[in-house]
């Protein structure tokens, strides 16, 4: 998790769930009286790997609560495995539902676009072209157990015959967009185009983006969203150009205790070398090259916070809601006790 061989909100949570199961197996092989202490240390170690993603701590705390119900080591291991499987299965199911709700949203936008096109081009094609979706980073199959969050509506639309085209922001410095999202979309047959991160505003000014869909690693009860660095700038550009900006997330990505994302969400800082270097495929192997002077300092924030007022809506497994406390409460009343 720390080295990002496994990354993405949902997959981090699922991996942490199985990590706690493995910790339970190891603890059960040791002294009987030390299993809880061993699990506590494992939980702390896992939580420290990626501080911004709330799915991580959510999965770990869920495991600790359920494992504690066991009266002996064998029961604790069985409960840990059952919980890990449930976390993974729920992630896939929730992302599938996000895809269905997101599809309805995209279909509505497609109908509006077709109507506007027909009004100005009555003798032309009525479809008005594909729906152009801009996304950032990778919130797809490779970031979740299945379907993805931000990509789920795209896949659902494509599979149902609704023409979509995706602008894939490269997402520096690790290029999760150009490396991962573009590969995913290509494998699924979804038309897409990779663009530089700084091109998003230009595309919106030219009317080339119908909506933006991104994922999130942590969302507050007030709708503030922490996502991959660069998301905030895209939200600002969307607001300035009247482009709908949606965030897709399973409920496990909500932090029900936080209200002010800018003040309360911890922002991970990664190695400056990720900014100063780039890696890629060359003559059959992965190579790394330096793209900045060795002596120049660099700062590498992993995430930024997009305030809820810049978010058009949140696409969850229960439906779409506005990014504010009242709407979130209405969709998840059991979390507000």
Q: List, by residue number, the catalytic residues.
A: 217
**How far is residue 192's CA from residue 137's CA, in Å, rounded to a whole number?**
14
278 - beta bridge partners?
A: 289
C-beta of residue 166 within 8 angstroms of C-beta of residue 178: no
Please report the DSSP string for 198-244 in residue order.
GGHHHHHHTT--SEEEE--SEEETT--EEEETTHHHHHHHHHHTT--
**How far is residue 97's CA from residue 85's CA, in Å, rounded to a whole number?**
19
Give the E-state strand segments of the chain in sequence order: 131-135, 164-169, 192-195, 211-214, 218-220, 225-228, 245-248, 254-255, 277-282, 285-290, 303-306, 313-316, 319-321
């Amino acid at each position: 998790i720390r080295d990002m061989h496994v990354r993405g909100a949902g997959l981090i949570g699922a991996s942490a769930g199985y990590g706690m199961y493995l910790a339970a197996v190891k603890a059960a092989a040791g002294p009987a009286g030390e299993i809880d202490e061993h699990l506590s240390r494992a939980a702390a170690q896992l939580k420290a790997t990626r501080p911004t993603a709330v799915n991580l701590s959510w999965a770990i705390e869920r495991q600790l609560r359920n494992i504690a119900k066991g009266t002996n080591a064998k029961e604790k291991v069985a409960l840990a495995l059952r919980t890990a499987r449930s976390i993974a299965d729920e992630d896939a199911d929730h992302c599938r539902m996000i895809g269905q709700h997101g599809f309805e949203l995209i279909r509505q936008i497609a109908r509006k676009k077709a109507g506007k096109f027909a009004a100005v081009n009555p003798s032309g094609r009525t479809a008005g072209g594909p729906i152009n979706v801009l996304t950032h980073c990778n919130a797809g199959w490779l970031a979740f157990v299945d379907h993805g969050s931000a990509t789920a509506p795209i896949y659902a639309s494509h599979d149902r015959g609704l023409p979509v085209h995706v602008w894939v922001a490269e997402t520096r410095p690790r290029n999760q967009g150009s490396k991962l999202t573009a590969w995913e979309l290509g494998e699924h047959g979804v038309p897409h185009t990779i663009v530089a991160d700084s091109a998003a505003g230009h595309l919106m000014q030219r009317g080339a983006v119908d909506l933006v869909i991104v994922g999130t690693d942590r969302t507050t009860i007030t709708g503030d969203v922490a996502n991959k660095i660069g998301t905030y700038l895209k939200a600002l550009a969307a607001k300035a150009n009247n482009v709908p900006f949606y965030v897709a997330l399973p409920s496990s990505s909500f932090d029900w205790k936080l209200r002010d994302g800018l003040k309360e969400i911890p922002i991970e800082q990664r190695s400056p070398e990720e900014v100063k270097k780039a890696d890629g495929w060359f003559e059959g192997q992965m190579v790394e090259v330096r793209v900045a002077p060795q002596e120049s300092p660099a700062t590498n924030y992993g995430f930024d916070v997009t305030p809820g007022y810049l978010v058009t809506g949140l696409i969850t497994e229960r439906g779409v809601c506005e990014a504010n406390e009242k709407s979130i409460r209405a969709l998840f009343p059991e979390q507000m006790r």
